[in-house]
């Protein structure tokens, strides 16, 4: 629940009190203080880049320079459920359950280090070497400074308009680490895709919010944008960054050269 409000704090410009639930308003005791507010008909709403007109039965108010919005209208457009508990005088919000699709079943591919030089490349020029870059099928793994990172699968979800990347991080070192999911990039066909460009209500995985301690293994996902062309990814370089939380500021970068389907 905390993450739901934290991610949508820009939409909630004031404390959600005295707002409309259902077709009518809240019933207050006779002793409740009365205030004067102005109807703010000029206010419009946009959810995930889409303009949504406010229904006629809802009203937006301006009170002392703050905008007060209808709780049900805002919550339901964010995918949440909202109810009014008349017994306890509480507004109850229930955030949507985030369902992560299962990773695709794939046979282990070539685990050879993509950066390992090929003897046959020694007489090629730099351009030819770049063209001959190896790409491997998933799953793939890499290790740096006792930190193991596994990439098990990639799924394109056209309904949610995101790409799911399934990742596991295992910490065999003594320092706590954290996967910086916001720093994830995909490079393909000369174009770079950034995690920060994902447009979704839940654009990050809470599994990566906390430290990964010694001998701890954490599995989760990273949401990325959809591929620009077609329904599948081609050959790509996926870059993940793991940050050490030991005061050193050190960041470990993991690159995976992944073959397209």
pLDDT digits (tens, 9 = 90+) for 170-203: 999 999 999 999 999 999 999 999 999 998 778 8
Query: Domain residues for 124?
Result: 119-258
Closest CA to 137 of 259, 239, 237, 235: 259
User: In Å, what is the CA distance from 31 to each residue of 27, 68, 86, 189?
Assistant: 12, 22, 17, 67
- CA-nearest of 8, 18, 74 to 82 is 74
Does residue 82 sit in the same domain as residue 150? no
- Retrieve residue 194's tokens: 């950034």
**Residue 111 maps to a domain:** no
Are 250 and 126 in the same domain? yes
Burial of 182: CB neighbours in 10 Å, binned 0-12, 13-18, 19+: middle
| Residue-level pLDDT at 72 | 87
Read off the pTM: 0.55
Can you tell me the distance from the alpha carbon of 55 to that of 25, in angstroms, rounded to the nearest whole number?
Answer: 15
Predicted pLDDT at 240? 97
132 and 51 both lie in a single domain: no
Co-location of 78 and 147 in the same domain? no
148-161 pLDDT per residue, tens: 999 999 999 888 88
With a cut of 70, which residues of the chain have pLDDT below it?
1-32, 96-133, 230
**Both 127 and 215 in a single domain?**
yes
Task: Judge whether 170 lies within some domain.
Answer: yes
pLDDT score, position 127: 43
Q: Are 233 and 154 within 8 A, CB to CB?
A: yes
Domain presence at residue 199: yes
Give residue 99's pLDDT.
58
pLDDT score, position 225: 94
Comparing CA positions, the residue from 91, 74, 80, 72 lying closest to residue 23 is 72
How much is the pLDDT for 191?
93
Please tell me whether residues 134 and 243 are part of one structural domain. Answer: yes
State the pLDDT at residue 230: 66
In a domain, 229, yes or no: yes
Are the CB atoms for 228 and 161 separated by under 8 Å? Answer: no
pLDDT for the residue numbered 97: 59
pLDDT at 94: 81
Q: Is 156 part of a structural domain of the chain?
A: yes
């Amino acid at each position: 629940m905390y993450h739901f409000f934290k991610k949508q704090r820009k939409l909630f410009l004031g404390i959600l009190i005295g707002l409309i639930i259902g077709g009518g308003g809240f019933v207050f005791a006779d002793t409740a203080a009365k205030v004067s507010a102005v109807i703010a008909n000029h206010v419009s709403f946009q959810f995930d880049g889409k303009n949504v007109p406010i229904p006629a039965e809802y009203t937006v108010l301006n009170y002392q320079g703050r905008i007060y919005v209808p709780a049900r209208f805002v919550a339901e457009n964010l995918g949440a459920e909202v109810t009014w508990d008349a017994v306890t005088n509480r507004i109850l919000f229930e955030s949507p359950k985030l369902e992560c699709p299962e990773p695709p079943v794939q046979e282990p591919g070539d685990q050879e280090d993509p950066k390992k030089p090929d003897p046959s490349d020694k007489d090629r020029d730099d351009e030819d070497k770049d063209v001959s870059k190896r790409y491997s099928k998933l799953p793939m793994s890499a290790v740096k400074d006792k930190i193991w990172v596994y990439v098990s699968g990639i799924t394109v979800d056209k309904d949610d308009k995101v790409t799911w990347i399934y990742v596991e991080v295992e910490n065999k070192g003594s320092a706590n680490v954290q996967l910086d999911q916001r720093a994830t990039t995909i490079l393909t066909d000369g174009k770079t895709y950034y995690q920060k460009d994902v447009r979704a209500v839940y654009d990050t995985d809470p599994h990566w919010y906390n430290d990964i301690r010694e001998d701890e293994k954490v599995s989760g996902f990273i949401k990325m944008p959809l591929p620009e062309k077609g329904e599948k990814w081609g050959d790509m370089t996926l870059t993940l960054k793991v940050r050490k939380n030991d005061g050193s500021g050190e960041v470990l970068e993991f690159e995976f050269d992944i073959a397209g389907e």
